[in-house]
Amino acid sequence: MTKSADTHCPYCALQCAMTLTSPAVLTPASEPGSVPVPAESVALAAADGTLKAPLLEVSGRDFPTNRGGLCRKGWTSATLLNHPGRVTEPLLKGADGVHRPIGWDQALALVTTAVKDTQARYGKDAVGVFGGGGLTNEKAYMLGKFARLALGTSRIDYNGRFCMSSAAAAGMRAFGLDRGLPFPLADLDSASTIMMLGSNVAETMPPFVQHLQGARDAGGLIVVDPRRSATAKFTSDGGGLHLQPLPGTDLTLLLGLSHVIIHEGLADEDFIAARTTGYEAVVRSVNAFWPERVQSLTGVPAELIRDTARRLADGAGKGGSYILTGRGVEQHVDGTDTATAAINLSLLLGLPGSRRSGYGTLTGQGNGQGGREHGQKADQLPGYRKITDPAARAHMAGVWGVPEETIPGPGLPAVQLLKSLGQPDGVRCLFVHASNIAVASPDANAVIAGLRSLDFLVVCDFFMSETAAEADLILPVLQWAEEEGTLTNLEGRVLRRRQALQPPAGARSELWIMARLAEALEAPSTYSEDPETVFEELRLASAGGHADYSGIDYAMLDRGEAAYWPYPVGSTGTPRLFLDTFAHAGGKAVMTPVTPRRRRTPAANPDPAAKTMTLITGRLLEHYQSGAQTRRVSELLATQPEAKIQIHPAAAAGMGITEGAFVSVANERGEVLCRAELSTAIRPETVFLPFHFPELESANRLTEAATDPISGMPEFKFNKVWVRAAANGLQNSVLQTSEAS
């Protein structure tokens, strides 16, 4: 007896299609959602009579984004489904710090009491919610509704604030609409020129690379990255260009490229006149950024700047040009302005709204796009509506059947929300869903201290993540192959997630948890645990909004129909945005002049043996986000078992650091101890550290909780650190920590 399900990978927003096949996975008939156990399945039963989930077989499935290909993470994704570390029953932390199993009735009663007591003492906003870009659309939507109606709090935000908010803010500013890629990914196949800024897709989403091959073959692939990453190497080996600016100078570089486009007469003047506003102000703003000055500020040669601009313009007139941005240029205090500068450059060239060219930004998390559209963000309601818009509030009040004044106003963006933990006027009771904030947040030491200062912390997870370990109560939830739902990929295409196996008896969907808690809290409106029922409500909630899903239903998705939002009732969806008009009133894109922002002066280096360098963080091929899942996959961990700091050999030699030696990386926020990886791929004044690892190897001990004033995006990609060879005693502490883990 076998079961097969066509679904999508649980990791990044490429959402590669895959098929899962397994023997029938059954649970005892007494459990909720169980099916009878047939005779042929008796061999699957363990000695205690329970049934153990077998491994699923993963196979790549043909789909426009991945065309049957998967990366290492995708191929090994099913191994976590029967991992021995799986949390399968509610766990309550005792006075001794040990988590012990309790029943669901007791767990829900404890949460209900904690919410009521906290709000009675400190007010509604003393309860907060932190969501995640890995939640399905249904769960993201319901989490926003649960927070605002059942909890009555404005204090909700999510980890997408860490990875997409600057690009989203820039897209709204320029186009009046934010969708990562406003065109199907396959459109890149025919491009002659593609410039990628701050994105290492060869490691973060490897199947994406096939869409770059045409531009690479034409010598038109251009990568902007301070490191010679795998993507940069793929580019330069194919005759393309690698621009290697100083960290934090991407905005200056983009202004220099725009200067060349304007002053060499390469701009698309007809497009600018017909479809944009603000051109004259942008011209004035780039006048001070001629190539030689930009070279002195960024380290990129002036002739390389000119060559890049000319290639982009030439491609726009021939086979098509695309400009794509990623987190490397967005995770800065001027990230929104940097993304805006990239959009301005694309508008100067007439790329957005073309059938052969375009601008886009690469969404990172699996449902990073859908997760930010339907209510997890502090300032948004479903359908990408502003929470301060009276019409949006009236619409949602009608859908939810509540008075408009019941819906709270805007809350705090993620970094500010985390800074408020345990504070007198801050959040005292916190729910965390699909996010490992103890590892993934900037200034992680301060975040952990905030978690420990809470009156009550509830974490919904399927593993004992570093955040779950801090929780008073852990609620076990479903993994991706155990649930139904929808996600929205980096193209704005809504996809079906399908159940391939039954979950462990003690695990529950977040939808079930929220429905039970809403009932206990006597919340207004309705809360279904059925994903399709929730999606039907989401359709109504999104109708008429920027992210309109009202014309989409499960039946059409199950038939395999492409569903690109906006997809209002009666339409056929919108694979390509802006072909005729932009989303601003008047239909024109808005060009906004921007300029580099002055950063805070870092603390002085107190250690004469240490060298001050710039830290940039990022991902490895084998790991995903905080590593809470991939560090549990033996094949992946064996390849990348620890964090290593990438440092240029010349810089290492000056500090007496050798390959594999332990290095201390510190600043006023904390210290990281890890081995050195010497590489000429990094600039001599810069070091690189992956952020997938916890504790003594946690890169986010060092990142600053400074944020972009528009988007709330933290400054992950530009932090001053003090680097030196580690003392022997510190090396021993690293070894002891590694052995213990």
For residue range 43-70, list pLDDT tens digits in order. Answer: 233 334 343 444 789 999 999 999 999 9
Q: Which of 3, 4, 9 is nearest to 495 (CA)?
A: 9
Band (94; pLDDT cuts 50, 70, 90): very high
* Contact yes or no for 160/371 (Cβ under 8 A): yes
The whole-number average pLDDT for the span 669-681 is 97
Distance of CA 439 to the CA centre of its chain: 14
Closest to 313 (Cα-Cα) out of 355, 257, 240:
257
Best CA proximity match to 18, nearest among 80, 65, 83: 65
For the chain, give the percent of residues with pLDDT over 90: 90
Beta carbons within 8 Å of 250's beta carbon, 6+ residues apart: 197, 198, 224, 328, 329, 332, 338
Please compute the mean of the pLDDT values over residues 176-200 and round it to a whole number: 97
Rounded to whole angstroms, how far apart are CA atoms 138 and 141?
5
Answer with the residue of higher pLDDT: 738 or 532: 532
Tell whether the model's pLDDT for residue 387 goes beyond 60. yes
Q: What is the rounded average pLDDT of the residues 726-740?
A: 56
Structure confidence at residue 251 as a pLDDT band (50, 70, 90): very high
Q: Which residue do the tokens 């979950």 mark?
A: 503
Among 366, 224, 201, which Cα is nearest to 298's? 224
What mean pLDDT comes out for the span 3-12? Answer: 93
Instruction: Report d(CA 562, CA 90) in Å as an integer.
Output: 39
The pair of three-digit structure tokens given for residue 570, joined into one six-digit string = 């009666």
Confidence of residue 42 (pLDDT cuts 50, 70, 90): very low
- Residue given tokens 């033996």 in the structure block: 634
pLDDT score of 642? 97
Average pLDDT of the chain?
93
pLDDT band at 2 (very low <50, low <70, confident <90, very high): low
pLDDT of residue 364: 86
Confidence of residue 36 (pLDDT cuts 50, 70, 90): very low
Do the beta carbons of residue 316 and residue 349 sit within 8 Å? yes
Per-residue exposure over 547-570, b if at least 16 CB sit within 10 Å of its own CB, e if not? bbbbbbeeebbeeeebbbbbbbee
The two most distant CA atoms of the chain are separated, in Å, by: 78
pLDDT bin (cut points 50, 70, 90) of residue 27 is very low
Which pLDDT band, with edges at 50, 70 and 90, does 599 fall under? confident
pLDDT exceeds cutoff 50 at 405: yes
pLDDT grade for 23, boundaries at 50, 70 and 90: low
The secondary structure of the chain in percent helix, strand, coil, rounded to multiples of 5, reads 35, 20, 45
Domains recognised in the chain with CATH numbers: 2-82 (2.20.25.90), 91-163+367-482+505-527 (3.40.50.740), 165-362 (3.40.228.10), 611-740 (2.40.40.20)
Rounded CA separation 298/38 (Å) = 67
Is the confidence at residue 585, as pLDDT, over 80?
yes
| Burial status of residue 318 (CB atoms within 10 A of its CB: 0-12, 13-18, 19 or more) | middle
pLDDT digits (tens, 9 = 90+) for 423-449: 999 999 999 999 999 999 999 999 999
Q: Compute φ and ψ for 545, nearest 5 degrees.
A: -85, 175
User: Percent of the chain scored above 70 by pLDDT?
Assistant: 94
pLDDT at position 728, please?
66
**CB within 8 Å of 285: residues ≥ 6 apart:** 255, 593, 594, 595
How do beta strands 156-158 and 127-131 pair?
A: parallel
Chain centre distance of CA 489: 12
The token pair at 377 is 């963000």
Distance of CA 135 to CAs 87, 124, 404, 593, 660, Å?
18, 25, 27, 36, 38
| For helices 510-520 and 137-145, angle between their N-to-C axes, nearest 10 degrees | 20
Per-residue pLDDT tens digits for 608-659: 999 999 999 999 999 999 999 999 999 999 999 999 999 999 999 999 999 9
Q: What pLDDT sits at residue 727?
A: 84
- Whether the per-residue pLDDT at 167 is higher than 90: the answer is yes
Residues 561-571: what's their mean pLDDT?
A: 97
- Structural contact between residues 436 and 625, judged by C-beta atoms closer than 8 angstroms: yes
